[in-house]
Structure 1
Amino acid sequence: MTFYDRTEELDALDTAFESPDHDFYVVYGRRRVGKTELLKEFCTGRPHIYFLAAQEAEDRQREKFVEKVADYFDDRVPRIDGWDEALEYLGEKLATEQLIVAIDEFPYLVEENDSLPSYLQSFVDEQLQETDSMLVLCGSSVSTMESEVLGHESPLYGRRTGQIDVQPFSFQQAQDVIHYDIEDAIRSFAVTGGTPMYLTLFHYDQPLKKNIQTHILSPTAVLYNEPEFLLRTELRNPARYISILEAIATGHTTPNVISGATGIDVGPLSKYLQTLRRLRLIDREVPVTASAKQSKRSRYQVADEFLRFWFRFVEPNRSSIEEAPDVVYDGTIEPNLPDHVATTFEDVCKEVVWEAIRRGQLESYSEVGRWWYGEDEIDIVGLGPDADRILFAECKWTNEPVGQSLVSQLHEKAERVRWGPETRDEEFALFSKSGFVDGLAEDVGDNWSLFDLSELEAVL
C-alpha cells in the first residue's frame, strides 16, 4: 500500500530519534486512521523492534514480546516470569545499542495486566533514560491511551517526551489519494471521509457510483459491516449506540430530538452521548459565538464522513441491500446524496477559510464555526482575535449559480449575530458548487470574496 502524507508526524518522530538522550513517544488515534502504517514507515531503515500485541493471555503476550527482543539481538530466549523481568531484559539489551522499540495496540496488554504501566514507569526511569533509544507506545483505544498512559492518574504521567494524536486526513490532504476532479472528489470524500483505509479502497478510475456499489453496498465488501465491527470492538452492547448514531446521521441532532427518535430518555442518553464523544464517533457543537461549557444550544454530529454515510444510507436499508442493492442506490442514495454532500462541502469550505487566512487572502480569525439562533443559521462565522472583526460565509452545493438573493439573506442574518461592538468590521464570503450569476462579483463590495470550485481548488 502506498504511504500518504503524515509529513509532520514523521518529522516529529525523526527529530526525536535523531536527538541525543532517550525518547518515550505515545501515538494514538481512532481505528483505521493509519497509526500502524505511520510506525512502520518511521521504523523502515532504522534499527527497531516492532511488537504488535494481540487479544490473548498475558503469558503468551509476554513470551512473544521477549522472543521478539531475543530474536533481534540473536540471543537465546531467556526464561521470563513477569513483565518486570521482560522489561529488565529489554533494558539490558538497549544498553548496548540504540534502537526503536514500538509496541502497537498497547491497550491489549493493559487489558490482561493493569499493572503494566507501573512496570513501564520503572523501566523508563531506571533503564531507558540511560540510553539513546526510543520507546513508542501505540493504541487505538483512545480512552485507554488517555487514561493509562497520558492521564494524571497513570504511573507513566510526565514520562513521555512527545505524543501524536493521529487524525483522519483533511480534504486537502486526501486529495493526494482521490484522483477525481474537484467536484467528484468532494462527493467521494463525503462517502469515505479522511480515514486512509477507506480512501485507498476506492478505485478512482471508476465512477463514484461503482465504488459505492462495490465497496459498501455489497454484503461481502469490507466496508459493508465496518461500523458494526468498530463498535463491537469498543462496546459490549452496541445496539443503543447504533440507534443513536443512526438518529444523528439522519438529522436528529439535539438531545431532545435524539431522545424522541431513539426512545432513550434524556438522562441516560447523556451518558451514551459522552461515550460516543470519548470514542470520537460524534462531536458536540455549539454556535461559534457561544461558550462550549455554558451553552445549552448544543448539536451533535457524526464525526466521520463514512460513518455518517453508513448510518444514513446503509444501516436503515440493510434488508433491502441484501436483496436489491442497485434499487437502494438508485432510489435512496442517489436522490439524497447531494443533501449529504452539502454538509461535507461546508467542512471543506471551512478548510478553505483557514487556508485563505494563512495565505492572507482573508483577514485573520481565531475561531471559525457554524452559528445558529432560532430559525437563523449561517454556515461559517469567523471571529476576529480582538472582537472587532467578523466573517460571515454561506456554502451552496446546488445546481444553480448563486445570485443576489443569497447576498441579501446573508446581510440580514449577519445583522442578527450579536458579537463584538456595533462598529465591528464585517467580511463576507460565498462558496458555490455552480458558480455565480453574471455580474455578482461587481455588484458586491470589496469586503466580499466569492469562491467557485476552481477557486476553492486553487486555495487548497
Structure 2
Amino acid sequence: MTFYDRDDELEALETAYKSAGHDFYVVYGRRRVGKTELLKEFCGDRAHIYFLAAQEAEHRQREKFVEQVADHFDDRIPRVEGWDDAFEYLGEKLATESLVVVIDEFPYLIEENDSLPSYIQSFVDEQLQDTESMLVLCGSSVSTMESEVLGHESPLYGRRTGQIDLQPFSFRQAREAIDDDLEDAIRSYAVTGGTPMYLTLFDYSRTLSENVREQILSPTAVLYNEPEFLLRTELRTPARYMSILEAVATGHTTPNEIAGATGIGSGPLSKYLQTLRRLRLIDREVPVTASAKHSKRSRYRVANEFLRFWFRFVEPDRSSIEGAPGVVYDGTIEPNLPDHVATTFEDICREAVWEAIRRGELGPYSEVGRWWYGEDEIDIVGLAPDDDRVLLAECKWTTEPVGRSLAESLREKAERVRWGPDTRNEEFALFSKSGFVDGLANELGDDWSLFDLGEMDELLT
C-alpha cells in the first residue's frame, strides 16, 4: 500500500527519536485513519519491536509480547507471571540496546486487564527513563486512549513526552491519493472523506457510480457494514447512536429536530450527542460570530464524509440494497448526490480560503466558519477582530455559472451580520463549480474575489 503524506507527524516522531533521553509517545485516532501505516513508516529500518495486540485472553497476549521481545534479542523465552514481569524483562533488554517499542491496539490489552497502565507507569518511571529508547502506545478506541492513557485519572497522566491525535486527510492532502481532475475528485471525496483506507479502496480509473456500487453497495464489500462495525468497537449498544447519526445525516441538525426524528427525549439525547462528539463522529457548530460555549443556536453534523454518505443513503435502504443495489443507486443516490456533494464543496471552499489567506490572496483572518441567523445563512464568514474586517463568501455547486443575483444577495445578507463596528471593512468572495457570467468580475470591484475550479485547483493541489 502506498504511504501518503503525514509529513508533519513523521517529523514529530523523528524529532522525538533523535532527542536525548527516553520518549513515551501516544498515537491515537479513529479506525482506518492510518495509524499503523504511520508507525510502520516511522519504524522503517530502525531497530524496533512492533507488537500488535489482539482480542484474546490476557495470558496469551502477554506470552506473545514476551516471545516477540525475546525473539528480537535472540534470547530464550523467559517465564513471566504477569505484566509487571513482562515489562521488567523488556526494561532489562532496553538497558543493552536502544529501540523503538510500539504496542498497537493497546485498548485490547486494557480490556483484559485494566491495571496495565499502572504496570507501564512503573516501567516508564523505573526503567525506560534511564534509556535512549522510545515507547509508543497506539489505539483506535478514542474513548479508551483518552481516558485510560491521556486522562487526568490515568496512572500514565503526565508521563508522555508527546502525542499525535491522527486526523483524516483534508481534501488538499487527499488529492495525492485521488487520481482525478478537481471536479471528480470533489465528488469522490464527498463519498470517501479523508480516511486513507476508504480513499485507496476506490479505483479512480473507474466512474464514481462503479466505485460506489462495488465498494459500498455490495453486501460483501468492506465498506457496506463499516460504520456499524466502527460503532460496535466503541459502544456496547449502538442502536440509538445509529438512529441519531441517520437523523443528522438526513438533515435534522438541531437538538429539537434530532429529538423529533429519533423519539429520544432531550435529556438522554444530550448525553448521546456528547458521546458522539467525544468519539469524533459528529461535530457541533455555532455561527462563527457567536460564542461556542454560550450560544444556543447550535447545529450538529456528521463529522466524516463517508459516514454522512452511508447514513444518508445506505442505512435507510439496506433491505433494498441487498435486493437491488443498482435500483437504489439510480433512483435514490444519483438524483440526490449533487446536494450531498454541495455540502462537501462548502468545506473544501473553506480549505481554499485558509490557503488563500496563507498566500496573501485574501486578507488575514483568525476565524473562518459558517454564519446563520433566522432564515439567513452565509456559507463562509471570516473574522479579523484586530482590523475590524470581515470576509463574506458563498459557494455554489451548480451546473450554471454564478451571476449578479448571488452577489447582490450576499451584499444584502452582509448587512444583517452583527459583528464589529459600523465602519468595519468588508471583503467578499464567490466560489463556483461552473464559473461566472461574463463581465461579473469587472462589475463587482476590487473588494470581491472570484474562484472557479481552476483557481481552486491551484490553491488545493
Per the TM superposition, whether the score is higher than 0.5 is: yes
Q: How does 1:209-220 map to 2 (within 5 A)?
A: 209-220=209-220
Q: Which residue of 1 aligns with 2:264?
A: 264
Distance 1:274 1:380 in 2: 26
Q: Which residue of 1 aligns with 2:386?
A: 386
| Per-residue Cα deviation, 1:190-229 (whole angstroms, up to 9, x for no partner) | 0000000000000001011110111011111111111111
CA contact (8 A) 1:387 1:420 kept: no
The percent identity for this pair of structures is 82
Q: Which residue of 1 aligns with 2:182?
A: 182
Distance 1:225 1:28 in 2: 23
Write the letter of the residue equivalent to 1:407: A
Query: CA RMSD of the aligned region, Å?
Result: 0.8
Distance 2:270 2:223 in 1: 29
CA contact (8 A) 1:378 1:392 kept: yes
TM-score, length of structure 1 as denominator length: 0.99
Q: CA deviation at 1:457?
A: 0.4
CA contact (8 A) 1:387 1:419 kept: no
Distance 2:150 2:316 in 1: 38
| Per-residue Cα deviation, 1:103-161 (whole angstroms, up to 9, x for no partner) | 00111111111111111111111111110000000011111111111111111111111
Q: Which residue of 2 aligns with 1:105?
A: 105
Q: How does 1:396-415 map to 2 (within 5 A)?
A: 396-415=396-415
Distance 1:385 1:119 in 2: 49
Matched, 1:364 2:400: no
Q: Which runs of 4+ in 1 moved over 2 A?
A: none
Secondary structure, counterpart of 2:176 in structure 1: coil
Secondary structure, counterpart of 1:417 in structure 2: coil
Q: Which residue of 1 aligns with 2:83?
A: 83
| Per-residue Cα deviation, 1:286-306 (whole angstroms, up to 9, x for no partner) | 001111110111000000000
Q: Which residue of 1 aligns with 2:70?
A: 70
Q: How does 1:337-356 map to 2 (within 5 A)?
A: 337-356=337-356
Q: Which residue of 2 aligns with 1:125?
A: 125
CA contact (8 A) 2:143 2:234 kept: no
Distance 2:27 2:238 in 1: 26
CA contact (8 A) 2:53 2:108 kept: yes
Q: Which residue of 2 aligns with 1:325?
A: 325
Distance 1:219 1:158 in 2: 45
Distance 1:28 1:40 in 2: 14
Distance 2:117 2:358 in 1: 41
TM-score, length of structure 2 as denominator length: 0.99
Q: CA deviation at 1:387?
A: 5.7
Task: Give the length in aligned residue pairs.
Answer: 460
CA contact (8 A) 2:62 2:86 kept: yes
| Per-residue Cα deviation, 1:387-434 (whole angstroms, up to 9, x for no partner) | 601100000000010011011100011110111111111111100000
Write the letter of the residue equivalent to 2:150: L
Q: Which residue of 2 aligns with 1:281?
A: 281
CA contact (8 A) 1:391 1:428 kept: yes
Instruction: Flag structure 1 segments of 5+ consecutive residues without an equivalent.
Output: none
Distance 1:33 1:216 in 2: 18
CA contact (8 A) 1:147 1:154 kept: yes
CA contact (8 A) 1:387 1:421 kept: no
Matched, 1:204 2:227: no
Q: Which residue of 2 aligns with 1:249?
A: 249
| Per-residue Cα deviation, 1:224-258 (whole angstroms, up to 9, x for no partner) | 11111111111111111111111000000001001
Distance 2:119 2:315 in 1: 44
Q: CA deviation at 1:319?
A: 1.2
Q: How does 1:283-302 map to 2 (within 5 A)?
A: 283-302=283-302
CA contact (8 A) 1:432 1:452 kept: yes
